[in-house]
Homo-oligomer: A and B are copies of this chain.
Amino acid sequence: MARRKFWGWGKVGEGFTDEEMKPFEADYAAVFGVDGFEVRPFPTVDEIELAPSRLTPPASLAPVCTDDKWERLVHTFGRSFHEQVRIMDRDFAGAPDLVACPRDEGEVVALLDWCAEVSAAAIPFGGGSSVVGGVHPDVGGSFRGAVSIDMGAMDRVLEIDRVSRAARIQAGVYGPHLEDQLRPHGLTLRYYPQSFEYSTLGGWLATRGGGHYATMLTHIDDMTESVRAVTPAGVHDSFRLPGSGAGPSPDRLFLGSEGALGIITEAWMRLQDRPGFRIGHAVEFTRFMDGVEAVRAISQAGLYPANLRLLDHNEVRWSGAGDGTAAVLVLGFESADHALDAWVARALECCRDHGGRLPEEPSAAGDSKDGGAAARWRNAFIKGGHMREMLTARAIIRETFETAITWERFEAFHRDVAGAAARALEEATGQPGIVACRFTHVYPDGPAPYFTFIGLGEQGRLGAQYDAVKNAVSDAIIDAGGTITHHHAVGRDHMPWYARQRSEIFAAALKGAKAALDPVGIMNPGVLIPAP
């Protein structure tokens, strides 16, 4: 079995080869006016210096704890650009002292008890796909060490309720293994974040993740019947219910808690029948803002398409979906129950009302594996996780950030945020970069815009260059009233802007709740609640 890479996405042997990178390199070289790219090699284990582990587990926990160097390296970083730069710099300061893989809830309880006893920070680790520093055990000097608690061994579907379409699922399960367990029952969670292969149910819940679909059941929050979690103060469980009005929702406190209150161990999740009806189109718009109006019309019509992904010209060009001469709306409907002709007909009317053109024949769901803009976009999306490490090695800055805003503010918001990104990119790198935008999720009252920025960086300055852009766009987002994160969570990286977004009163409430559940303050310190 291949091990997880500690320098990039997925397992050793997965991803792009240098040979496969050649066409991408040619593309970037042409845009940036360079001949090619120096490729920095990925680190090897031996190149990295790691301080010895400061923690020795008690005998009872020794079987599930390791200080194996490779494992400590794998659990040092998530997948943010910033962290990738540190990986390339061989800077693994902040590595966990131990990696623990509990096999059941009792072991999670024992681990937290022990961490509290010895003043060790406990860092929950799902798939390690955090792009916001959520799993990085850099917890400061007030702890005697840090334990990365990898939930991967708790990966089973424990119970399936076919009638209500729900399942009780352990939090450590990765996306593909989860779907493998549901498929024989004709059911699916139908939750496909880009990180699907290397992220877990517990991570999705703890970060309030968003899936691939544009409308309706796409925030993991809305798929949750109940959450079970281990906190240092004890085990929380909630009644499994389709709906309730009994006080503030306990589930909604743990959803988005990012490991700061405890570790989610399992959840009852709402499932769906596997869709058999699919229909989709890729609709072109000359002007991006016309596409925006079409998307708003569809989102306010009560049609709830599975896909409603508007790509601006740059996004079309740089995701490989087309040549970039038009904006493209990937529109798709799915159902397990009924044909969707009436739905798609009305959605296409909304597109035509706003100047949309249909260059292609309908395809299954607008993003099937057969040709077309939608399929090309999908293929690039799926391989996206592997691209980061390859571009960083070439000093090409390519990163994304996402937010949400109401419709009436979108045009100015888009101008301000994209403008801030473009200016910061040019200032940081000395030449113009590329800023692209797409909608990942759409609500009746506004879109979740997802921005990509691309610039030519410089080895040695890459972290500072990236930070300059990230800081500028984060300021622009908060200044304009957007959320600092729509589905990537707060982590350590977004804390300064989260502190501007959430009220002082809510911060006090959350701190009060944390003090009750985690009195010693061992749970993922520095995330959501500033470390004392």
Residues in chain A within 8 A of chain B (CB atoms): 161-166, 207-210, 219, 221, 225, 229, 231, 233-250, 252-258, 261, 270, 272-273, 296, 300-304, 335-338, 341-343, 346, 404-409, 441, 443-448, 481-490, 494, 498, 501-506, 508-517, 528
Contacts and interface: CB of A to CB of B under 8 A. Distances in A.
Contact of A252 (B163, B249, B303, B483): B249
A132 to B, nearest CB: 10
Nearest to A498: B246
Given A246-B502, A253-B253, A445-B225, A241 B508 contact: no
How many monomers of this protein are in the complex?
2
B236 A505 contact: yes
Contacts of A257: 247-248
* 6 tightest A-B CB contacts, nearest first: A512-B516, A242-B446, A342-B342, A236-B505, A512-B512, A163-B408
A190 to B, nearest CB: 11
B510 A248 contact: yes
A244 B165 contact: no
Contacts of A504: 234
Given A301-B338, A404-B242, A408-B163, A510 B443 contact: no
Give the residue among A250, A258, A441, A490 with the most B Cβ atoms within 10 A.
A250
Contacts of A444: 165, 242, 270, 272
18 contacts: A164-B446, A241-B482, A242-B448, A243-B483, A245-B485, A245-B486, A245-B489, A248-B510, A250-B502, A250-B503, A270-B444, A270-B445, A300-B337, A303-B337, A303-B338, A508-B517, A509-B516, A512-B512
Contact of A233 (B346, B502, B508): B508
Contacts of A296: 163
Contact of A246 (B219, B250, B490): B490
A406 to B, nearest CB: 4
Contacts of A482: 239, 241
A483 B245 contact: yes
The winner among A164, A237, A448, A494 for most chain B CB atoms within 10 A is A164
B481 A240 contact: yes
Contact of A481 (B239, B343, B441): B239
A223 to B, nearest CB: 10
A389 to B, nearest CB: 25
Given A161-B408, A238-B502, A243 B256 contact: no
Contact of A273 (B207, B208, B209, B300): B300
Contacts of A445: 164-166, 225, 242, 270
A76 B387 CA distance: 65
B513 A245 contact: no
Given A164-B445, A408-B163, A248 B241 contact: no
Contacts of A490: 246-247
B503 A238 contact: yes
A32 B343 CA distance: 52
Given A246-B490, A247-B528, A302-B338, 9 more contacts: A165-B300, A165-B444, A229-B505, A235-B503, A242-B446, A243-B448, A247-B257, A338-B342, A512-B516
Given A337-B301, A445-B270, A163 B244 contact: no
Nearest to A514: B512
B485 A244 contact: yes
A209 B245 contact: yes
Nearest to A238: B503
A505 B517 contact: yes
Nearest to A210: B245
A163 B481 contact: no
Nearest to A221: B249
